[in-house]
Amino acid sequence: MAWDEWEQLKSEAADRHTTQMRLNQLPADPGGGGGGQPDFVANQDDLGAVGHEAFILHDLLGKQADIAGAGMDKQGAGSTMQAAGELKNHNFTFGFALETTVSVWDTQLKSLLQACAHISNHLDYSKALHAKDDAQVAISLHNRDGSAVPASELNKYFT
């Protein structure tokens, strides 16, 4: 390739392309994968409602599903464990099975209670954190006259 031919090709290429950067991309997906509309929206009220329901479930499970602690005697054994002990004392294998059932139930109940508490606490924390963040952003964004900058004003910087 001759030098003048190289220069001609460079000149033609420069004429075809602008100096702006161009990114290759897929067209916007109307199903929510980048079409401009958010896929998932969680409002503060929604988070609060789910957290409240998790709190109510935690409370109800703690009061009504505790078979290991129901009817406790002086030694701290619930009525079901007392029955299992009596059955074992009389050489009934069902006593061992009942004891295992109560143990597994109690373990699963504690796991479920922990999950409910985690959901409730996490959503309460998230709600409070985002409200704090929103307040901080609102404080930091204001016009020169001290008035709040409306969201529509901010939006023009992102589009």
Residue 112 falls within a domain, yes or no?
A: yes
* Mean pLDDT, the chain, integer: 76
Among 129, 147, 148, 128, smallest CA distance to 138 is for 148
Residue 140 falls within a domain, yes or no?
A: no
List Cβ neighbours of 148 (8 Å cut-off, separation of 6 or more).
138, 141, 142
pLDDT digits (tens, 9 = 90+) for 123-144: 767 767 777 777 777 666 777 7
Residue 58 falls within a domain, yes or no?
A: yes
Residue 91 falls within a domain, yes or no?
A: yes
Residue 112: domain span: 42-126
- Cβ-contact 88, 96 below 8 angstroms: yes
pLDDT digits (tens, 9 = 90+) for 12-63: 877 776 555 555 665 555 554 445 555 556 666 777 788 888 889 999 988 8
- Cβ-contact 78, 71 below 8 angstroms: yes
Residue 148, both tokens = 């709040």
Compute the distance between CA of residue 98 and CA of residue 81 in angstroms, rounded to an integer: 8
Residue 52 falls within a domain, yes or no?
A: yes
Residue 116 falls within a domain, yes or no?
A: yes
pTM of the model: 0.51
Domain count, the chain: 1
Residue 56 falls within a domain, yes or no?
A: yes
Residue 132 falls within a domain, yes or no?
A: no
